[in-house]
Amino acid sequence: MSQNIKGKSNKKKGAAELFIRVAKAYKESDFYSLYTELRESFPEVAKYLEDNTSPGRWSRAKQTGNRYSIMTTNGVESINGRLREERELPMHCKESHQPGEVNIVKKRIPCSHAIAAAYNANISVYEFCTDYYTTRYWLEAYTDPFYPVPGEWTVQEEILVLPPLVIPRRGRKKVKRIPSVGEYARRR
């Protein structure tokens, strides 16, 4: 649209830039003050906009759909970038059970389902944990002193540990990425 605005303006400079500022305004008060400035400086552009389209189609402040039509995944992409290697690690589950079943008799660290059930029933979650996870057991484990192993220890002076030999591939590293809802996959 900014290219169309350039063609509709009698003055060659400033109309497209001012239109972009109007279109990007977040608050309606900013939109109205900038649009008034556009109407006064470039009346032919304002007439073109009013005759051919509505502000709800080109202005952030006037859009009725998703707020300002900003649908980005930038935050998620940043986290994914930082956790790139961790995402490839296998998932480990502590205890498998049928959906809807929680085994509270085993007295391990309860899963989120058991914690929620205990919370709703006003039962202390600690009743479902084994005593091995208590502070008392932890203190008892370290009450007896540790004695060093008798004898003389030898340490090798020259131990050289090298990183594994990796030959980097040419080109950009391939990364799996799942497009979000509403985002179209790029065709090559």
Q: Between 164 and 113, where is the model more confident?
A: 164
Among 33-42, 67-76, 92-101, top mean pLDDT goes to: 33-42
Tell me the average pLDDT across 149-172: 80
Distances (CA, A) of 167 to 143, 161, 170: 51, 18, 9
Domain boundaries along the sequence of the chain: 2-69, 94-141
The answer, yes or no, to whether residue 10 has pLDDT greater than 90, is no
Q: What is the pLDDT of residue 177?
A: 73
Q: How confident is the model at residue 35 (pLDDT cuts 50, 70, 90)?
A: very high
Q: How confident is the model at residue 159 (pLDDT cuts 50, 70, 90)?
A: confident
pTM for the model stands at: 0.36
Distance (Å, rounded) from C-alpha 17 to C-alpha 114?
Answer: 59
In the chain, the amino acid numbered 183 is E
